[in-house]
Chain A
Amino acid sequence: MEEVDMCRECGCGSSRDDNTIKIFKPSEIVEGITISHHEHSNQLHLERQQSISPKHINIDISLLHANNRIAERNRGFFYAKGLFVINMISSPGSGKTTLLAKSADLLHQKGLRLGVIVGDLASCNDASKLEKAGIPAVQVTTGRLCHLDAQMIFSALQRLPLDQIHVLVIENVGNLVCPGDFDLGEACRVVLFSVTEGEDKPLKYPYVFHSANLVIISKYDLAVAAEFDESSALENVQRISHHAQIIKVSSKTSEGLEQWINWLVKTREEFLKGQCVEPIYSHH
């Protein structure tokens, strides 16, 4: 007869007689004795667990797990609804709002309606500006929070006329660091920087630039005045984000806007056919 002094259900190491494993013949069973390998209660397990101090618990869960779950729910909703969503990230003042106001008209000519969710720490200036231009817009003010998260997007969606919108742009809080970590459920990420910010921006903020599907270099009408070195800028983007397409635009002169709108139309069509690439940052 072999005896093992360990509870097989929980491995708790209890060596009480009644949880010793016994190998026996049926004829050996004596009337009145219950053969049980495991009679100690869960309470005993609990007490034994608590008496081991300290205790290590392996977790291995991403800090972004909760956000990513909501982002995936958003993504599924967008796909089912046929709503093409862009997460637009840049530093403050690089020309996101002006570009979007211009884009709405051009998209309209292609039969597509733009909607915008704007994230800022405070004020609703940007959303008001867009609304005045006839663009459905919702402002999310984050207080002191430096980024938008997936839950904020889900809440903001309730306030948009989604059935009338074909392209939804989420204009993230102006910041090239924090928004990078937070998947919102978008189909594509667009990272924007203006010529006045310098051609080495991608090298300074590689994490966000690496996650971009498209990089827009804005305010191109100021390139000469800002002594912007185009070839060095393009090389810097490619060093960090070899996969990203690059478009140079000027909202003032309309340079590059047609290319940007064509990119939106074409990428939206791919999205609707289910051909959109996996988000580059989906490392979780």
Chain B
Amino acid sequence: MHELSLIQEAIRIAEAHAKAANANCINRIILRVGALTGAVPEALEFAFEVARQGTLAENASLEIETVDPCVSCLDCGHQYNCEGWELICPQCGSFNAKIIKGLELDVKTIEVA
């Protein structure tokens, strides 16, 4: 359940930016979460319900934008979207893949007032 640690960090980052902009509250937090990360969107949402209490994000909504995986084959150079961790290259059959997208775990945008 490291999603609680992650979401607490998201709120900490959001609060720091909101305070720097002299905002009184955070209305919305948008996260960017790659499909290959260890973080589960549902668990992030659940953790957010607890973690937002008593913060500037107390009444904020949480939105999660998922990023589909994209990998590059280190053998033939082919770039492709894979289904989950099925890293096999459709062109040459290699598993020798470098992950280009799908490991994101970012605070993308916040909306403050």
Contact = CB atoms under 8 A, between A and B. Distances in A.
Nearest to A178: B2
A155 to B, nearest CB: 16
**Interface size classification for chain B:** 35 or more
A61, A239, A281, most chain B CB atoms within 10 A:
A61
Contacts of A54: 27-28, 111-113
A208 B31 CA distance: 22
Nearest to A283: B103
B18 interface: yes
Interface stretch (A45-53, A129-137, A185-193): A45-53
Contacts of B105: 62-64, 181, 284
B110 A240 contact: no
B107 interface: yes
Contact of A180 (B12, B38, B104, B111): B38
Interface string A220-251: 00000000000000000011101100000000
Interface residues of A, number: 39
B14 interface: yes
A146 B5 CA distance: 10
Given A55-B21, A59-B107, A210-B85, A178 B1 contact: yes
A60 interface: yes
Nearest to A238: B95
A58 interface: yes
A177 interface: yes
Contacts of B95: 238-240, 242
Contacts of B107: 59-61, 63
Q: 4 nearest interchain CB pairs?
A: A178-B2, A206-B85, A283-B103, A207-B38
29 contacts: A53-B113, A54-B111, A54-B113, A55-B111, A55-B113, A56-B109, A56-B110, A57-B18, A57-B21, A57-B109, A59-B17, A60-B106, A62-B104, A62-B106, A63-B9, A63-B31, A64-B6, A64-B9, A66-B12, A149-B5, A177-B2, A178-B1, A181-B39, A206-B84, A207-B38, A238-B95, A239-B87, A240-B87, A242-B96
